Structure 1
Amino acid sequence: MTDPSVASHRANRRLRQHLDRLATGVIAASGIAVVAAVLAIGVYLTLAVLPLFDAAEVKVEAASTVADEGAIHTVWLADDGMRWLTRDGQLRNAEGTIARLVEDATIAAVAEGDDTQPLALGLSNGEVRLVPRDDRGRLIWTQAATARLFATRGVAALALGHTAQGWVLAGRNTQGDVAALWRAGDALRRLAVPETAEHIAMGHAGRLAISQGTQLTLWKLSPDGKGTALARTDTRAPVTALSFLQGGRTLIVGDAQGELRRWRLSPDDAGWQAAETSYAALGDTAIRRLIALPRQRLWLALDASGRMGLYQSLSGLRWQGQAPRAIPPPAVSINAQGTQVMWLGESGTLQRLAIEAPHAAVSAATLLMPLTYEGHSTAQWRWAAAVTGDEEPQYSLVPLAWGTLKAAAWAMVFAVPLALGAAVHSACYMSRRQRARLKPAIELMEALPGVVIGFVAGLIVAPFVERHLAGTLVLLVCVPLGSVACGWLWRVLSRRWELRLPPISVGVGLMVPLALVCWAALSLSPWLEAWWFGGDLRTWMYQQWGWDYAQRNALIVGMAMGLAIIPTLYSLAEEALSGVPRTLAEGSLALGATRAQTLWRVQLPVAAPGILSAVMIGAGRAVGETMIVLMVTGNTPLMSPSLFEGLRSLAANLAIELPEAAVGGTHYRLLLLGALLLFVFTFAVNTLAEMVRWRLKRRYRRYWGNA
């Protein structure tokens, strides 16, 4: 007969076994889930970033017949359907003629700007027909007006540009004469340019580029009816095509040898910048046509051999292929997104080019290399992706990476000495009772929210440092030196004092002389500033080194973020030092070594992997910090080594710009690229730190086995 107590014991044992297996499965599943979640984040960021580097495409869509008669000049896609214009001035749609815009002349040239500028039709009798737009940018065909550009000769080419007061329309007649119409408010003034030209292009604020043979001239037109030649340049080969890109500050020049070059207006709009930029050529035949697209500083180039290329002003050639058989005529229509180029052939067939290049402005060069941007005279790393209007986007990640590493580096400079010093003192010199009180107190600092630290640093510390900059710098030098001096004084005191006072009184007593040192530094700093720096340290730094001072700078973020990562560094380093077998230290002391020699030659070398792991984890924590950097640095993406200027980190940039970025756009994906860089860095650092800690444990086992 079975003993009931034995049966109960067996049942309990089976229950414990089932619970152990269940707990093991739950723990294993949770660990796997955590790893899977981390990997899923990395995979998601990678998939979101990959489209940035997709190759651009230009596809020729199938042609369709939209008209059966008349010589078609150009076409528009309106809200109520397609409309096209014949050379004799008839506006038509699929149902027939809507209006006749021109009498006794033919249309020879068309110029179309943005939604605030009219449609200009150049006529064979020297006049231009101006079709205004309504508030929504739609053409009002019934209100077309006529203005005379040339007395007798017909218009051969038109170029339309934007000004602060309105717009300016430049034209060239069949004989090469150049004239312009300047619109400011309701006034329309004609300007004559005393030069002949083969090609014209209208840019920013009345800047007119004209070419004649190998000579390229930049004119400045003004509303008072005068024109001034700002710059003249001889090109290497005769110019065959001109076009200003979006914004009107970058001119693309194509020549008879098939070369393409970029000329940028100088920052003061007084001429060209000192150097031109060349692009990869399509071939060795002349460039016949340049078609500027209204987004991303893109343009299409066509040469005489039928080759076509898609270019971006900073990243260069993005696509190259064969042009369609029906080469686009002088008049083409481009949709507002710049994804379609349309024109009508002589037989009334609609031709389309579909352009798929949503991220053409992104390349290794634009992300990593210094470039010369519009409005700047030197090559720089710049980040300004969230731009509007005609501003040129600047996609360099280098200033953000520099700001991230700069903030983390200065935080480590402040945190590592304090945290490691506290860890060494508590692990190697304090009693267990004192250590049990101090360690939780320091670790409790980790509960301080980053936003609170950033708030205090931004609103209290930063103004104080600005008012007492010299005193703060003196403090940063005097406090470490004062601590060393106090330690030396304590060492030279009589052994009798050292035996009478408990160890904790030494640390408390050190606060008094350090407080006196701080008071003396702040009190004497105005005299020191007046003596050494002429009374103003910030002015002296600017004059000597070119360093400007910003209230929220790397110094403030170093102090604030250093305070935030001290608990992490201290806790990990203290555990590494406490984990060193006590038999090693006791053996060293038994052999006659001092406590300092034991620390430097025994305890620190054994705990070095753990301390290195603590430093790496602290660095990863500093790199990923968001709120403190966001509130303390001023968020200016500068490439400056100065301790007294602002910065912007990748994490802070995400917090600032991600809510405003259009999902799926270039700006949005670039922000996710920054997030991916942070993910990879912190993942790699933490993984390496864990490997170091694992090696540390193996070393501990070996020491314990030999003890």
Structure 2
Amino acid sequence: MSAIPTDGGVLRESLLPSAEKREKLRKTRMFRDALSRYGVGSGGIGVIFALALIFLYLFYETLPLLKPVSVEQAYSYALPVDETASPTLHLTVDRFEEIGGRFAESGAITFFQASTGRILSSVRVPLPEGVTITGFGRSETRKSLFVYGLSDGSVLPLKVDYDLTYPAGVRVITPRLSYPLGEQPIRVGERENDDEAVDYSALTIVEGRGGYVVAAGTREGEIAMALFSTSTSMLSGTVEIRRQDFRLPALGKPVRQLLVNESLRNLFAIDEDGVLHHFDIVNRGNPVLVETVALTRPGVDVRVAEFLVGSRSLIVGGSDGSLTQWMLVREDGGNVQRLALIREFRRHDAAITFIEPEHSRKGFIAGDESGTVGLHYATSSVTLKFLKVVDAPVERLAISAINSMALVEGRGTASLQVLRIDNPHPQTSLSGLWGKVWYEGRDGPAYIWQSSSADDAFESKLSLVPLSIGTLKAALFAMLLSTPLAIAGAIYTAYFMSAPMRKLVKPSIELMEALPTVILGFLAGIWLAPYIENNLPILLIGLVIFPLGILAWGFAWSRMPASLRNSVAGGWEAAMLIPVVIVLGWIAVTLSPWAELAFFDGSMRQWLTSVGITYDQRNALIVGLAMGFAVIPTIFSIAEDAVFNVPKHLTQGSLALGATPWQTVVGVVLLTASPGIFSAVMIGFGRAVGETMIVLMASGNSPIVNFSIFEGMRTLAANIAVELPETAVGSTHFRVLFLSALVLLAFTFVLNTAAEVVRQRLRKRYASL
């Protein structure tokens, strides 16, 4: 082996590592290289695996939304009847699906075991001597409130309650009749002869905010109403009932059906021709006929009509098997409400005979003359299932409060059919989540997110469009602020700034990323939003004065004597702008009140309102400023590294060929660094899309669909953070929140994939430089 020369002479061969030692060192290096290679590879695979697990978990929680509806005929048993075996007026099922109830024309109410048909008890409505039942009406199914019409012209309201007891820890349900207006029959309307017998052709009873309303219609077309209000004495506990009777204009035709909504503002009377007469009954002493509406097309009879839960919309079944939904809609934003046809459902093959609404959702079950039962849902405007149940027309239907059991009675049959229903998420159709939906109480179809309300009959509105638009809106305004500032700052820092100053600026900006976003959101919502609201002209003045002022300073600096300019070391010119920016900011703040007086009549906020621009204190502008401040360090750091790492021989070659530094930046540096700059922008955009706390605290959290800079928004991430802790596990709301998380994950995945494709193409294109 040849000797190795050193300063001290010749290094002897004995001082070199032995062959065995060199082999050991080689193996150590190979082990370390392999460890690094496989460690980095395992980490990458672990990240991919973790993302896949997140995706699978979100999909697992969302999957029940895609589960098809199931309606099965479970079993049947003999119709539970009393000794008279009189026809059925009505069927009920309690909320625990343990006890069914059958109301008979004889006045008997038979309670039976819903699973077997075994009779548990039978009670009889207390009727005066010699009086028979001639009519029957009911309120909403969830109220369990009924009214009997009697042959002497009186009516008897009653209610079915289910008492719960737990002897020995076992639930026992005991049905009980109660009489909210007393056990004695009452008369409705003021008549000259109170003993006159009246043949009521239509009856209804409603428990509303103002008390109870009982309405009765006759075959002569007369309609009478009585309003009962009750009050309980705090001392004696006695119940005092006050009543007010009044009559409506006669229809001139027999009244087939009466419906009163629970607000006690509107009465709908359907005559024998199927024409609906809409009365405004707000003024009890002077009811007004608002309109008459043909509910079906010519040649089609109205067979049945029922309110959906909440009595805000009406489902109408026709003799041609049609099912339509009608709703009160304000005309041109006025005070007058008129019925409007808002949707149609899939038609049955035979005439509709019975409609039974669900207790707590906007769904309903309908039966027809062919013995087929159809399950429909109003909000999503879908027909979920058809099932042939009996070989006779469907006479009566009952559905439980938890919507998983239904009882079906066929006309002339002596048995009850029991249906098992699995329909947990009927409103989550594609059109319901992503399309415009005409919700109850609205003037037209719209994209709305409103998941909860204090009203038990509330129709949940779960459109993902406002949240998706809000996510894009927040990210867009944040990027409009952060992208130009971060990229311009990165270029200047990496290429023009002196090394000592760069060592101060770059770590300082990167340190901004360590600021907790909750602090930024707090400052934006508590301090920045009110300040901007009270000083709006600052924004307009700043947009003009800062660019022009900086350009003016740059031009003035270039015209200063060379001796003065040379006194500032190269790359430190940016420090000269610090006092300039401070002065320009002071000028903008000082001019703000003067500009507000001169151009906006003293209040720019009020001026915006007067020209039709809505201004929310916490809006997209505030979110853009706060989130843009949070995103700047991410974009700056990655873009600065990309620009700084452009090979020096490229920039030096460009300068050597006579190009100016600015020409070198535009023609060489930006092109070479474009893949890194693009990656910085995309990573910043992803950061803005997933931001939660700033949007939560500074946006107002309004799920609206627009891109107005002066209005707020609600993003997918912020909505999940707000509502997930409050929702019931396994509910539709819970599943839709997980679906929104899946949408957010898919959106960022697609965005990052597209960004990587573009980055690779840019890298390939400019690799030859």
State which drifts further: 551-560 or 7-16. Answer: 7-16
Q: Give me the whole-angstrom Cα distance separating, in 2, the residues matched to 1:672 and 1:493.
A: 62
Question: Which residue does the alignment assign to 2:638?
Answer: 572
Listed as ranges, the matches of 1:618-633 within 5 Å are 618-633=684-699
What does 1:585-664 align with in structure 2 at a 5 Å threshold? 585-664=651-730
Query: How many Å separate the matches in 1 of 2:653 and 2:255?
Result: 94
Q: For 1:2-151, what aligned pairs fall within 5 Å after superposition? A: 7=20, 10=23, 13-14=26-27, 17-18=30-31, 20-22=33-35, 24-65=37-78, 67=80, 70-71=85-86, 73=88, 74-78=90-94, 81-93=99-111, 94=118, 97-103=121-127, 104-106=131-133, 108-113=135-140, 118-123=145-150, 126-132=153-159, 140-141=176-177, 145-148=183-186, 151=196
Tell me, in whole angstroms, the C-alpha distance in 2 between the residues paired with 1:587 and 1:136: 92
User: Which range moves more in the overlay, 242-251 or 274-283?
Assistant: 274-283
Moved more, 619-628 or 517-526: 517-526
Change (3 A) 1:63 1:657: same
SS in 1 for 2:280: strand
Q: Do structure 1's residue 536 and structure 2's residue 603 form an aligned pair? A: yes
- Identity among equivalent positions (%) equals 34
Mark the CA change 1:38 to 1:659 in structure 2 (over 3 Å): closer, same or farther: same
What letter corresponds to residue 216 of structure 1 in structure 2? L
1:164 aligns with 2:209: yes
| Pairwise CA distance, 1:651 | 0.7
CA deviation after TM superposition for structure 1 residue 395, in Å: 1.7
Deviation of 1:189 (Å)? 4.0
Q: Distance in 1 between matches of 2:100 and 2:262?
A: 31
Whether the 8 Å CA contact 2:305–2:316 is kept in 1: the answer is: yes
Amino acid in structure 2 at the alignment position of 1:71? S
Specify which of 179, 202, 218 is matched with residue 260 of structure 2: 202
Counterpart residue type for residue 403 of structure 1: G
Is the 2:305–2:317 Cα contact (8 Å) retained in structure 1?
A: yes
Out of 386-395 and 686-695, give the one that drifted further. 686-695
Q: Identify, as 1 or 2, the structure richer in helix.
A: 1
Deviation at 1:390, TM superposition (A): 1.8
Aligned to 1:276: 341
Alpha-carbon distance, 1:116 to partner: 5.4
Q: Distance in 1 between matches of 2:653 and 2:17?
A: 56
CA distance in 2, matches of 1:430, 1:20: 37
8 Å CA contact 1:71, 1:348 repeated in 2: no
Alpha-carbon distance, 1:564 to partner: 0.5
Which stretch of structure 1 is more off in the superposition, 423-432 or 42-51?
42-51
Instruction: Please give the per-residue CA displacement for 1:374-422, whole angstroms capped at 9, x wherever unaligned.
Output: 2221332211022341222212111111111111111011111111111
Q: Can you list the C-alpha shifts for 1:77-134, whole angstroms capped at 9, x where unaligned?
A: 4577444443322233446654322444247535253665633344455443323466
| 1:423 CA displacement | 0.1
Shift of 1:447: 0.5
Give 1:307-326 correspondences, 5 Å limit.
Answer: 307-325=372-390
Say which SS state the counterpart of residue 138 (structure 2) adopts: strand
Question: AA paired with 2:277?
Answer: T
Q: Secondary structure at the match of 2:329?
A: coil
1:187 paired residue number? 242
2:339 and 2:224 map into 1 onto residues whose CA distance is 28
Is the contact made by 1:386 and 1:667 (CA closer than 8 Å) also made in structure 2? Answer: no
Q: Which moved more, 1:479-488 or 1:4-13?
A: 4-13
Match of 1:512 among 568, 573, 579: 579
* Aligned pair partner of 1:239 in 297, 302, 305: 302
Partner secondary structure for residue 611 of structure 1: helix
Contact 1:58 1:319 in 2 (8 A): no
Matched letter for residue 107 of structure 2? G
Deviation of 1:321 after TM superposition, in Å, equals 2.3
In structure 2, C-alpha distance between the alignment counterparts of 1:142 and 1:219, rounded to whole Å: 30
- Structure 2 unpaired stretches of 5+: 1-15, 112-117, 165-173, 189-195, 231-240
> How far apart, CA to CA, are the structure 2 residues paired with 1:368 and 1:105?
54
Aligned pairs for 1:689-704 within 5 A: 689-694=755-760, 702-703=768-769
| Residue-by-residue CA offset, 1:222-258 (whole Å, 9 max, x unaligned) | 5846532222223433433211111111122233444
Q: Give the RMSD, CA atoms, in angstroms.
A: 3.1
Instruction: Report the CA distance shift for 1:280/1:378 in structure 2 as closer, same or farther (over 3 A).
Output: closer
Distance in 2 separating the partners of 1:272 and 1:355: 36
Rounded Cα–Cα distance in structure 1 between residues aligned with 2:749 and 2:312:
43
**SS class of match (1:447):** coil
How many angstroms apart in 2 are the aligned matches of 1:312 and 1:623?
A: 34
For 1:369 and 1:573, locate their aligned partners in 2 and report how far apart those are by CA, in whole Å. 39
State the TM-score, normalized to the length of structure 1: 0.90
Note the C-alpha offset of 1:563: 0.6
| Shift in CA distance, 323/211, structure 1 to aligned 2, threshold 3 Å | farther
Give the letter aligned to residue 34 of structure 1. V
Which residue identity does 1:241 align to in structure 2? V
SS at match of 1:251: strand
Q: Distance in 2 between matches of 1:83 and 1:302?
A: 19
SS at 2:212's partner residue? strand
- Tell me which residue corresponds to 2:650: 584
Residues in 1 aligned to 2:496 and 2:532: alpha-carbon distance in whole angstroms: 35
| Structure 1 counterpart of 2:356 | 291
**Closer, same or farther: CA 96–395 of 1 in aligned 2, 3 Å:** closer
Report what 2:234 is aligned to: none
Residue 219 (str. 1) matches residue 234 (str. 2): no
Give the TM-score taking structure 2 as reference length. Answer: 0.83
Which stretch shifts more, 72-81 or 354-363? 72-81
Q: Deviations over 1:532-585 (max 9, x none)?
A: 1222212221222x2122111111110000010111000111111112212111
Shift of 1:614: 1.0
2:318 aligned with 1:255, yes or no?
yes
The CA distance in 2 between the partners of 1:142 and 1:197, in whole Å, is 28
Matched to 1:62, the amino acid is Y
Larger Rg: 2
The answer to whether the Cα contact below 8 Å between 1:617 and 1:685 also exists between their aligned partners in 2 is no
Question: For 1:282 and 1:671, how far apart are their aligned partners in 2?
Answer: 33
Q: Give the partner amino acid of 1:36.
A: F
> Structure 1 residue 355: deviation in Å?
3.3
Task: Tell me the secondary structure at the aligned position of residue 240 of structure 1.
Answer: strand
Q: Indicate if the aligned counterparts of 1:568 and 1:614 stay in contact, CA closer than 8 A.
A: yes
Once the two structures are TM-superposed, the CA of residue 507 in structure 1 deviates from its matched residue by 1.6
Going from structure 1 to structure 2, the CA distance change for 1:584 and 1:691 (only over 3 Å counts) comes to same
Distance, in Å, in 2 between the alignment partners of 1:82 and 1:371 is 36
Structure 1: unaligned runs, 5 residues or longer: none
**Structure 1 residue aligned with 2:503, among 422, 425, 436?**
436
Matched, 1:367 2:427: no
CA distance in 2, matches of 1:133, 1:563: 62
Q: How many residues align?
A: 700
Report if aligned partners of 1:423, 1:570 keep a CA contact under 8 Å in 2: yes
CA distance in 2, matches of 1:439, 1:321: 67
Aligned to 2:629: 563
Distance 1:327 1:170, change over 3 A: farther
- Higher mean displacement: 165-174 or 522-531: 165-174
AA aligned opposite 1:591:
L
C-alpha distance after superposition, 1:607-633 (max 9, x if no partner): 222211111111110010000000000
In 2: Cα distance, 1:588 partner to 1:19 partner: 41
Alignment of 1:463 onto 2:530: yes
Cα distance in 1 for partners of 2:417, 2:221 equals 30
Measured against aligned partners, the alpha-carbon deviations of 1:459-487 in whole angstroms (never above 9, x if no partner) come to 11111111111123322332233222222
Contact 2:675/2:760 (CA < 8 Å) preserved in 1?
no
| Distance in 2 between residues matched to 1:671 and 1:684, nearest whole Å | 20
Residues 89-98 or 315-324, more deviating: 89-98
Alpha carbons of structure 1 residues 541 and 556: separation in structure 2 relative to 1, 3 Å: same
